[in-house]
Amino acid sequence: MKYILLMTGKKVGVESYLAWSQKDRNAHMAVLRRIAKELTASGEFVATQGLAGPQEAKVVLGEKGGMPVTDGVFPESKEFLLGYWIVDVATPERACAIAGRISAAPGPGGMPTNVPIEVRGFASYPEPES
Amino acid sequence: MRFILMMTGTRANWDEYAKWSKEDLERNVAFMRAFGKELKDSGVFVATEGLGWPGEAKMVRAGKNGEAITDGVFPESKEFLAGYWIIDVESPEQAYKIAARASAAPGPEGKPRGIPIEVRQVLSGHADLGL
């Protein structure tokens, strides 16, 4: 069963992350790297991706005269996707356990960030009739 | 440059979608298939996924001892990711043009929905994570 683990945050959360010391950031990334390596070794890893900062985010709303209508203004409350992991696991509980490990990755001073991780399954669409 | 195009919606949007007629659903899915094929044929396609219903979404936090604490309650205003495309294009402008096409996907009675598509650059996640 494939699941996607979504890490989200507000602009203010991203700003506080950018204020972390280099040492704290390295420790955080080291744990994420170890988790990804373990998932690869166990055959559960499918994909991971980190997104660029929310300050560069745009929203596209249709088009006008053949050109896309873009906007870069978001409410303060907007939850931006920061990154995701796709895992292929035996049970939903295992997907949640992996999400728990990512949530426990260390933040400033080595304390777990406890950042919430959203766990979702994938949609299935019927194949077109041939 | 790699960009991710994200389609999101609240639970209310999903409830509406669940009420679409079979014909409307088929038209929308056919559009999405043709759109994906076009992206592939033009060489910009990297990945696409459609996510499951928000009713099955869980939120996980690490507890004091690192255990996974699972919760399934979200505020009504919560924007759930419905699906995404990752494309590899020459410029942000090209990504916005492609996003506009996804935004115009047909809804009920074949009318373009004009839904907002969030466009963000993606980082080299695999390299960052040492994979």
Nearest to A51 among B54, B120, B126 (CB): B120
In a domain, A129, yes or no: no
pLDDT at A126: 60
Q: pLDDT value at position B65?
A: 84
Number of C-beta neighbours around residue A49 at 10 A: 22
CA distance A39 to B131: 11
Tell me whether residue A130 is in a domain. no
**Residue A30 pLDDT:** 94
Which residue in the set B62, B77, B128 is minimally distant from A112, CB to CB? B62
Count of the separate structural domains present in chain A: 1
Would you write out chain A's pLDDT as a tens digit for each of its 130 residues?
A: 999 999 999 999 999 999 999 999 999 999 999 999 999 999 999 999 999 999 989 999 988 888 999 999 999 999 999 999 999 999 999 999 999 999 999 999 999 999 999 999 998 766 655 4
Q: Which residues pair with A5 in a beta bridge?
A: A85, A119
Which chain B residues are closer than 8 Å to A118 by Cβ?
57-60
**What is the per-residue pLDDT for B131?**
46
Domain containing residue A66 = 2-121
Do the domain assignments include residue A83? yes
Answer yes or no: is pLDDT of B2 > 60: yes
pLDDT tens string B90-115: 999 999 999 999 999 999 999 988 89
Count CA atoms within 13 Å of residue A17 on its CB side: 18
- At residue B130 the predicted structure's pLDDT band, cuts being 50, 70 and 90, is very low
Residue type, B12: A
Q: What is the pTM of this model?
A: 0.92
Give the count of beta carbons closer than 10 Å to the beta carbon of residue A21: 10
B58–A118 CB contact, under 8 Å? yes
From chain B, pick out residues whose CB is under 8 angstroms from the CB of A56.
120-121
Q: What is the pLDDT of residue B75?
A: 93
pLDDT digits (tens, 9 = 90+) for B15-71: 999 999 999 999 999 999 999 999 999 999 999 999 999 999 999 999 888 889 999
Provide the CATH number for the domain around residue A28: 3.30.70.1060
Q: Please indicate, yes or no, if residue A110 is contained in any of the structural domains.
A: yes
The answer to the question of residue A127 being in a domain is no
* Contact (CB<8Å) A33/B120: no
Greatest CA span in chain B, whole angstroms? 53
